Amino acid sequence: MREIALPDFIGESEHGMIVMVSALEDELEPLFQRFNRGEKVPYRFGWQLVPIDGQNYLVTLDLNWDGGHEVAIGFTPEMWDILPAVRHKDLTVITDWDLVGQETRISPSKALVIRQAYRGFDELIRQVAQVVPPLQGSHPGEELEKLQEILAGCVDPGQLH
């Protein structure tokens, strides 16, 4: 199983959502150094539903970039309520506690700013829908039902067909 880092802090500012993940400092530092040198580094991201055991799940934000390796940020059910804000704001991933609470925009050389981070929610809601029906007999629990409701408000209905 791959390693999934959980956020130390999730916050919202007028500029966007901030996810502080100190556990990814070593993995993201080379990327931040490239940004600092002025490189335009193409990156990819996707949202996944990851089973932890029979009834518990994480939502992960998987990140990959040219010359790097994939990292995953995990969001527990208690964190899923932030997903609707991602629909309307950029998502900024940082690894340095000193950047939390800064009044000005965070320098791109110290952060990964994901614009339109909600792209991929349509695939995530499909993943949730595939899990829920087969488990009806054993009831998947309120967590996945809650996630379906949250994501339904984040995805344009036309994207689901």
DSSP labels for 36-105? HTT----EEEEEEEEESSSS-EEEEEEEEETTS--EEEEE-GGGGGGHHHHTTSEEEEE--GGGTT-SSP
Residue 67 lies in a domain: yes
Q: Is 94 exposed, middle or buried (0-12, 13-18, 19+ CB in 10 A)?
A: buried
Structure confidence at residue 10 (pLDDT): 93
Structure confidence at residue 104 (pLDDT): 62
Q: What is the mean pLDDT of each run of 10 residues along the chain (161 residues)?
A: 88 86 94 91 94 88 91 96 90 88 70 91 91 58 86 70 47
Residue 4 lies in a domain: no
Residue 1 lies in a domain: no
Residue 3 lies in a domain: no
Total count of domains within the chain: 1
Residue 2 lies in a domain: no
User: What does pTM read for this prediction?
Assistant: 0.87
Q: Distance between CA atoms of 6 and 127, rounded to whole angstroms?
A: 21
Q: Are 86 and 47 in contact (CB under 8 A)?
A: no
Instruction: Find the domain containing 27 and state its range.
Output: 9-160
Q: Distance between CA atoms of 3 and 155, rounded to whole angstroms?
A: 28
Residue 48 lies in a domain: yes
Nearest residue to 9 (alpha-carbon basis) of 113, 105, 118, 82: 82
